[in-house]
A and B are shown apart, each in its own frame.
Chain A
């Protein structure tokens, strides 16, 4: 446990080092980045091995930082953060593997990339709202540069839109936090202190400030109708960055909702519960329908992320231990699966064919030209549909069971959403990889070399990591649930689940 903060320091050091190494060669920068992320991942796994689940955050470091405001440099972890830390380690390692072909300014690319990862680690470890916010901002800035400089389609627009939405969201969060701190007379920014201060505020203020903080975070989680940055930004981003954005950074928003917004004002949560759940359900279905009509394969994956994050938000909105445990499981699962989907689309397909349009891909016998990419996409697609045997199934199942107990109608609509997700995933698989090849296509078994560069070992390794993770959690979700469930019994979350009624 005590090693966890080193994930932050290590990645920051790695960022500096890869910047230096990048001056020498792109190769050196890559290896530095890979060593850094895998070391950080190893640290999280090592910490997980010795983790004893308990309700509430387990403090690791707690020193005063800005004494006059009561701000502490307070790092702590519980089962929820641990789950997401392990995910961050895994997803960033895989993302580096899928960024192996970055040649231009590789040093700077990986420096920004690792700074982003360090910020994410910091957010998941923060137990002080202001510190949380600082790390949150550290994570946002590099995204802009990663997309604007190394991105593809419409990258300036996508980067700007993403950054603006993120900053608008975080401004709302900051406003809410400062409001509680100032008006409530909180001694500091610890979650408990803020909650205590907020409970003294009038009912209407609590409702308003909850809305500020929750929707501020939910913007980054892609809540309908504030989700439009997500597909545009993810499509514009380079592969490694879109894996990280969809896989991990969207989880920051959901994590903020769960860790900061819910405990802050249980009364506000009780008021907003219904509207949030409806927005989540609408998001699941709407994004699914939009994905069904996309012509760009990467947009299909981008909208599918919004649809799947809808399940996370739904689980959080339902606000029972069961539904929220499903939501956290879904965060992990989606982090892995979205990463895999973006990896296939961006790295394996686009970097080779230079097209992502379904029309163009359809004309090529892709499953014969790139059998490995087709296989990985099919596996990722099956996992993404929520088919049993993969991590999405226990996650969505738990969310559905929890939701059903709260509202049958939400559960029914979410199940319809899962059906739509099957439809658009299958459509994408069919059009992109199993289209009707032109009659002139090479007959099977011919020995001519495929027109595309072969799949590299880095890609195979990255895909194997992610597929292994989704199958492992699909068959043994207990590995994570055993961490998550005790964490949900912390007094702060229990108060939130009860909606302020003791």
Chain B
């Protein structure tokens, strides 16, 4: 435990970078990019520092910072880091520099792009670290603003509409989320996540909410649920996602799917579940069906896409739904003695968040490469035989595809295996239905692999299709290496959250 305000630094350094860049309009574009990259890398460095002094065995929050902020409203500046936060901060640290590198340097007004991106990065980190609703919500909402402009100003032809839809959907969810927390605050007088979770665990929160009478306790739960469900997104609130992901520029799509979709899953695990254990338990069956719909229908929708970017976008719906399925299966079975199944499911959900961030990020980058080589084409039928034209690219993209597919030996397999192992023990029927999605996932990813990379050279690959540049290798190679290493030695990452998962699983008795 250092006395340094490490977590504040994690959040503020990217923002400081944004401010610095905003004040240096005359800097050469290359220097701007280098500076942005440097500030973006700070997250990785600081998260490694945090990892090195992270107490392995502890399940609670570490590096906690608390200061009184608005005493008259009982609001504190409260930051803390547990295994889940550390995992996601690490993911953000790994992914953000890659996203920046992936962004095209020749884009219009690169400085504004970097400023907005660093703002977005800091806001996302704030969401993972803040433990008081007041400033957590600042980060949660403010992350939308740079995301909106990044999509709108640098996106494809339909970007204006997609960005508007994205923001209105998310703010719509957030309005209900806010109202839910207003009700919680009115009932308890605190916005502190730790205090609220403690009240949720001993049942006093539920009894305080029950005093509202009528259907209002359920409405409060529903409000908070909606806020997160839109962000994840859970079926049927996902309709903003394909167009937003498809229209966003490559680096931003990578960040949206890699980091921002995790904000919703994080909300489920950090807030919805601890605060409303009983309500979630009661609502588990319908939510399991929604998660299954996301898994199965998301995969089938991806299979039907001819636009590669939309295909990867739908596959994201499919992959994050696994996380929700695992959590809800555990919640549905709450009340039974803790067993290996629930810890497997919860650990799998966390690992899946990390893995999906890597593989979906890499996939969006690969589609971006195809797009830039072909002058904007990204249809399934626009390519053929790319493998012979660009063998290095094909190899690295293969890592991402097969990790996403869940091939044993790569990281995606471990997470999905743990989820299936857990869900099988808790709700076997749900695992059986989810297998349908697994099947479709394999089908569309293999189609991608086969149509684009194999066969005779065709379409855009006919001309001078250059292999990866050094910059592109610098983005993809580390990601592919991580996929392989974590697939073979998942213990390298699971130690971060294992104690946390154990403590979750130990407290799975309903009040």
Question: If A389-B138, A401-B182 touch, does A481 touch B73 (CB 8 Å cutoff)?
Answer: yes
Q: Which residues of B contact A378 (CB under 8 A)?
A: 145, 149
Q: Which residues of B contact A419 (CB under 8 A)?
A: 171-172, 175
Of residues B134, B160, B186, which shows the largest number of chain A Cβ atoms within 10 Å of its Cβ? B186
Closest Cβ of chain A to B268, distance in Å, is 21
Bound Cα distance from A397 to B148, whole angstroms: 24
Candidates A411, A422, A436, A482; contact of B171 at CB < 8 Å? A422
**A416: interface (CB < 8 Å):** yes
Closest Cβ of chain A to B68, distance in Å, is 10
Q: Which residues of B contact A387 (CB under 8 A)?
A: 141-142, 145
Candidates B140, B164, B182; contact of A397 at CB < 8 Å? B182
Q: Is the interface of B mostly helix, strand, loop or mixed?
A: helix
**A415: interface (CB < 8 Å):** yes
Closest Cβ of chain A to B383, distance in Å, is 29
Candidates B73, B179, B216; contact of A394 at CB < 8 Å? B73
Residue pair A388, B185 in contact (C-beta under 8 Å) = no
Question: If A404-B182, A404-B186 touch, does A423 touch B168 (CB 8 Å cutoff)?
Answer: yes
Residue pair B186, A401 in contact (C-beta under 8 Å) = yes
Residue pair A401, B185 in contact (C-beta under 8 Å) = yes
Question: If A401-B182, A430-B160 touch, does A389 touch B70 (CB 8 Å cutoff)?
Answer: no
**A444: interface (CB < 8 Å):** yes
Closest Cβ of chain B to A369, distance in Å, is 14
Question: If A388-B142, A426-B167 touch, does A411 touch B182 (CB 8 Å cutoff)?
Answer: yes
Closest to A418 in B: B175
Q: Which residues of B contact A385 (CB under 8 A)?
A: 171
Bound Cα distance from A499 to B72, whole angstroms: 25
Bound Cα distance from A426 to B144, whole angstroms: 12
Candidates A389, A418, A430, A478; contact of B164 at CB < 8 Å? A430
Instruction: Name A385-438 residues within 8 Å CB distance of B.
Output: 385, 387-389, 393-394, 397-398, 400-401, 404-405, 408, 411-412, 415-416, 418-419, 422-423, 426-427, 430, 434, 436
Bound Cα distance from A405 to B175, whole angstroms: 18
Instruction: Name B459-501 residues within 8 Å CB distance of A.
Output: none
Closest to B173 in A: A419
**B71: interface (CB < 8 Å):** yes
Closest to A397 in B: B182
Candidates A382, A388, A427, A444; contact of B109 at CB < 8 Å? A444
How many of A's residues come within 8 Å of B, CB to CB?
36
How big is the B interface, by class? 35 or more
Candidates B70, B108, B148, B183; contact of A477 at CB < 8 Å? B70
Residue pair B164, A426 in contact (C-beta under 8 Å) = yes
Instruction: Name B118-156 residues within 8 Å CB distance of A.
Output: 134-135, 137-138, 140-142, 145, 148-149, 152-153
Q: Which residues of A contact B175 (CB under 8 A)?
A: 415-416, 418-419, 422
**A485: interface (CB < 8 Å):** yes
**B199: interface (CB < 8 Å):** no
Closest Cβ of chain A to B156, distance in Å, is 13
Q: Which residues of B contact A430 (CB under 8 A)?
A: 152, 160, 164
Question: If A387-B142, A430-B160, A434-B160 touch, does A415 touch B176 (CB 8 Å cutoff)?
Answer: yes
Of residues B135, B138, B175, which shows the largest number of chain A Cβ atoms within 10 Å of its Cβ? B175
Instruction: Name A132-146 residues within 8 Å CB distance of B.
Output: none
Q: Which residues of B contact A485 (CB under 8 A)?
A: 72
Residue pair A477, B73 in contact (C-beta under 8 Å) = yes
Closest Cβ of chain A to B303, distance in Å, is 34
**B178: interface (CB < 8 Å):** yes
Question: If A426-B164, A485-B72 touch, does A415 touch B179 (CB 8 Å cutoff)?
Answer: yes
Closest to B123 in A: A389
Q: Is the interface of A mostly helix, strand, loop or mixed?
A: helix
Closest to A381 in B: B145
Closest Cβ of chain B to A454, distance in Å, is 15
Bound Cα distance from A434 to B109, whole angstroms: 15
Residue pair A394, B70 in contact (C-beta under 8 Å) = yes
Q: Which residues of A contact B160 (CB under 8 A)?
A: 430, 434, 436
Bound Cα distance from A415 to B220, whole angstroms: 13
Residue pair A382, B145 in contact (C-beta under 8 Å) = yes
**B510: interface (CB < 8 Å):** no
Q: Which residues of B contact A416 (CB under 8 A)?
A: 175
Instruction: Name B176-199 residues within 8 Å CB distance of A.
Output: 176, 178-179, 182-183, 185-186
**B212: interface (CB < 8 Å):** yes
Q: Which residues of A contact B140 (CB under 8 A)?
A: 388
Residue pair B178, A400 in contact (C-beta under 8 Å) = yes
Q: Which residues of A contact B171 (CB under 8 A)?
A: 385, 419, 422
Residue pair A408, B138 in contact (C-beta under 8 Å) = no
Q: Which residues of A contact B167 (CB under 8 A)?
A: 422, 426
Bound Cα distance from A426 to B164, whole angstroms: 8
Candidates B108, B137, B142, B183; contact of A444 at CB < 8 Å? B108
Bound Cα distance from A19 to B183, whole angstroms: 54
Q: Which residues of A contact B138 (CB under 8 A)?
A: 388-389, 393
Q: Which residues of B contact A436 (CB under 8 A)?
A: 160
Closest Cβ of chain B to A304, distance in Å, is 16
Q: Which residues of B contact A444 (CB under 8 A)?
A: 108-109
Q: Which residues of A contact B142 (CB under 8 A)?
A: 387-389
Residue pair A405, B168 in contact (C-beta under 8 Å) = no
Q: Which residues of A contact B179 (CB under 8 A)?
A: 400, 404, 411-412, 415
Bound Cα distance from A404 to B219, whole angstroms: 13
Bound Cα distance from A132 to B362, whole angstroms: 67
**A498: interface (CB < 8 Å):** no
Closest Cβ of chain B to A324, distance in Å, is 14
Closest to A478 in B: B70
Bound Cα distance from A387 to B174, whole angstroms: 10
**A476: interface (CB < 8 Å):** yes
Residue pair A426, B145 in contact (C-beta under 8 Å) = no
Q: Which residues of A contact B149 (CB under 8 A)?
A: 378
Q: Which residues of A contact B212 (CB under 8 A)?
A: 408
Instruction: Name A465-502 residues within 8 Å CB distance of B.
Output: 476-478, 481-482, 485
Bound Cα distance from A256 to B87, whole angstroms: 54
Q: Which residues of B contact A388 (CB under 8 A)?
A: 134-135, 137-138, 140-142
Closest to B191 in A: A397
Bound Cα distance from A481 to B73, whole angstroms: 9
Closest to B215 in A: A408
Bound Cα distance from A422 to B173, whole angstroms: 12
Bound Cα distance from A29 to B30, whole angstroms: 49
Bound Cα distance from A423 to B142, whole angstroms: 16
Residue pair B164, A404 in contact (C-beta under 8 Å) = no
Closest to A408 in B: B216
Q: Which residues of B contact A400 (CB under 8 A)?
A: 178-179, 182
Leading 7 A-B pairs by shortest Cβ distance: A388-B138, A419-B175, A415-B179, A444-B108, A400-B182, A422-B171, A389-B138
What are 18 sample pairs from A and B whose C-beta atoms fall under 8 A apart? A385-B171, A387-B145, A388-B135, A389-B141, A394-B70, A394-B73, A397-B178, A404-B183, A415-B182, A422-B167, A422-B168, A434-B152, A434-B153, A434-B160, A436-B160, A444-B108, A478-B71, A478-B72
Binding site for A on B (CB under 8 A): 70-73, 108-109, 134-135, 137-138, 140-142, 145, 148-149, 152-153, 160, 164, 167-168, 171-172, 175-176, 178-179, 182-183, 185-186, 212, 216, 219
Supplied contacts A385-B171, A427-B164, A430-B152, 12 more A-B pairs, CB within 8 Å: A387-B141, A388-B142, A404-B182, A411-B183, A416-B175, A419-B175, A422-B168, A422-B175, A426-B167, A434-B152, A444-B109, A478-B73
